[in-house]
Amino acid sequence: MSDLQELTNELIQDEDFKEEYEALQPEMDITRAILDARIKAGITQKDAFIFI
């Protein structure tokens, strides 16, 4: 398990943190979908800025 995952698991015990963390999940899902699509298309992060 990564240090980040261990820290997240520790912090998630706090209800305020957990609420905010879960509220961000839709944004994280969109970000992951964009990242996965970019990788599948073989477009680098640098190349992706051309489309913006």
**Contact criterion met (CB below 8 Å) for 38 and 48:** yes
CA–CA dist 34, 14 (Å, integer): 30
- pLDDT for position 51: 62
**Which pTM does this prediction carry?**
0.66
CA–CA dist 26, 7 (Å, integer): 21
CA–CA dist 52, 49 (Å, integer): 5
Query: From first to last of its 52 residues, what are the pLDDT tens digits of the chain?
Result: 799 999 999 999 999 999 999 999 999 999 999 999 999 999 988 888 776 5
**Contact criterion met (CB below 8 Å) for 38 and 45:** yes
- pLDDT for position 52: 59
Number of domains in the chain: 1
What range does the domain containing 44 cover? 3-51
